[in-house]
Amino acid sequence: MSSATEETIQQASNSPGAPVANESAPENPLQKKADELGARGNEFFKEQNYEKAIELYTEAIEVCPNERFYANRSFAHFRTEAYGYALADADQAIALKNSYTKAYYRRAAAMMALGRFKKALADLEFVAKRCPSSKDAQDKYSECKKMVNKIAFEKAIAVEHQEKTVAKMCRDLEFVSIEDDYNGPKLEDGKVTLEFMKSLLDWYKNQNKLHKNFAYKILCDMETLLTTQPSLVEITVPDEEKFTVCGDIHGQFYDLLNIFEINGLPSPTNPYLFNGDFVDRGSFSVECIFTLFGFKLLYPNHFFLSRGNHESFNMNQLYGFTGEVVSKYSQNMADMFTLVYNWLPLCHLINKKVLVMHGGLFSRDNVSLDELRKIDRNRQPPEEGLMCELLWSDPHPLNGRVPSKRGVGIQFGPDVTEAFLKHNNLDYIIRSHEVKANGYEVDHNGKCITVFSAPNYCDQMKNLGAFITLKGNDLTPKFTTYQEVPHPSVRPMAYASPLSLMA
C-alpha cells in the first residue's frame, strides 16, 4: 500500500496497511508499557517474524487492551494464514472502537481469505465511504463487488454447471491445427507417454507453454479417470518397495523438479502421492498441475493426488491460479479445472494402516473409514462437515477440540488422534496444509505427521521443504529435507486477485 494511501486512511482512523504506531502520548504507566511492547511487535513484524510479533502484541493487550494492538495482531495472524484468529482480533478491535477504519479493513481481509466475499464487501464499503480519496480503498471495494457479482452469477447457473463435464466442454471447442513452428511435447496417439513427460519437464523448465490442444486433452482424460475413483483411495505398498508422500507444492514448479531430481521420476517402482495444494500463490501453478496430471495419466495405479483446500473455486480466484490459467490459456480452461478438481479424491489409505489427507481430523468422535468412502465429493468444499475438515483442519498440542485458527475446520488434540486411530485400527495419519520450518513436523506422540514440500514458501518464509518415504513392510516414515532452488524472476502471487494483497 502506498504512503499516500496510508496517510489518507490514517486520517480516517488509522491505516489498514502497516501496523500502527502510537497515536498519542501515553496517559498512564500501563499504557506506556503496552505501547513499548506494541512498538517492539511492529519491529518484529517488519522483519517478517510474525510469531514473535503476535507474542508481543498479546503481551501489550494483556497489559492494556487497545484496538490498535488487536488490529496489529490481526494483521500478523493474517500473514501466518491464521484467518480465524485474524477475524476474531478484528472483531475485538471493532468492539473496542466501532469507528476504527483499520479494523474493518482487517476484518474484510480475513473474510476474503475465507472466501466470504459478501461479508467482506460490507466492511470494504464502510472503509471506502470513510476514505473517499483513497484509491486503494475504492479499488478494493470495486474488486470485491465484482467478485460477489461473479459468485452470484455462478450460483444462478449452478444447475447448468452440474450438467457440464470437461468432456462436453472439449467437444464444444474448435481445436486449431498444431502450428508448424511448435516444437514442444506432443501426445502420442492422444496418450501421455514417458517420453512426453520427460519432454514436458524440459519444455516447462525453459519457460515454454504446452500447446492448448494437448492441455485440453489432458484435462478431459483426467476427468474421465478421476470419476472412476472413490473418495478414499486404497494403496498397497509391497514389503520392500518405497513409497513417497509429498505435501503442498503451491505452484513452485522448480522445487517440484528438484523433488524428482532428489528422489527420482515417478514410475511403477517409484510411486508418489501428492497431498493437495498443487496450485495458487506460486506463479508456476499451470506447470505444476499439468506435470502432476500427466504423471497421473501415465501411471494411474502408482501416482496419486489428494484434493487440498486450494483446489477450489474461491481459493483459485483469490490466490492466483485462475488468473494464471486465464493469462496462459483462457477462462474456459479455468472453468474446466474447477470441474476436474471436484473429482479429486479426498484421502488415501496406505496398507490399511496409514491415512493421508490434506487437512486433518473431525469435529465429532467415531468417524469411520466407511463414512469417508461415502462422501459425495463432486462439489465445492462446504464450510462444515467431514469433507471440509479433511481439507482444512489442523492439529494442536492440547487434548480436545477447539475452533480453527483458520476460521474453517477445527483444531484437534492428541486424544482425538489416538481415538480416531484406535476406532479405525490405524497406525498414524499424514497430513499437510501448514508451513513447517523443517518441512515436516511430528506431533501427537508420533501419530500425526505434517509434511510440506514448498521450500521458502512464497519466496519469504525461509522454511525447508520435505517429503516422506516409507516401505510397505514397516511403514516407518523417513524424512528428506531440501532448500529452495532458483526460479525465473516471476514473483509469487503475480496472477493473484488484488483482494488477496489487501493486508
Dihedral sign for Cα 468, 469, 472, 475, please: negative
Element (H, E) at 451: strand 448-451
> What percentage of the chain's residues is helix, strand, coil (to nearest 5)?
50, 10, 40
What letter represents residue 391's amino acid? L
Map grid coordinates 447457473 to a residue: 157
Exposed, middle or buried: residue 208 (CB in 10 Å: 0-12, 13-18, 19+)? middle
- 33-68: burial string, b at 16+ Cβ within 10 Å, e else: ebbbbbebbbebbeeeebeebbbbbbbbbebbebbb
Residues 6+ apart with CB under 8 A from 337: 219, 289, 316, 321, 325
Q: 327 CB contacts (<8 Å, ≥6 apart)?
A: 495
Alpha-carbon radius of gyration of the chain: 23
Q: Which residues fall within 8 angstroms of residue 271, CB to CB, at 6 or more apart?
A: 235, 237, 241, 243, 244, 299, 302, 303, 304
Distance (Å, whole) CA 27 – CA 34: 11
Distance between CA 105 and CA 31 in Å, rounded?
A: 25
How many Å apart are CA 139 and CA 124, to the nearest integer? Answer: 10
Query: Which among 310, 410, 435, 319 has a CA at the least distance from the CA of 51?
Result: 435
**Could you identify the residue written with the cell 516471476?**
490
Nearest to 138 by CA among 129, 149, 147: 129
Beta-carbon contacts of residue 183 (< 8 Å; ≥ 6 apart): none
Q: Among residues 211, 310, 348, 396, which one is catalytic?
A: 310
Contact 240, 471 (CB under 8 A): yes
Is the Cβ–Cβ distance between 205 and 288 less than 8 Å?
no
Residues 469 and 475: their CA atoms lie apart, in Å, by 9
310 annotated active-site: yes
User: To 10 degrees, the CA torsion angle through 113, 81, 296, 390?
Assistant: -90
Angle between helices 3-13 and 117-130 (to 10 degrees): 90
Which residues are catalytically annotated?
310
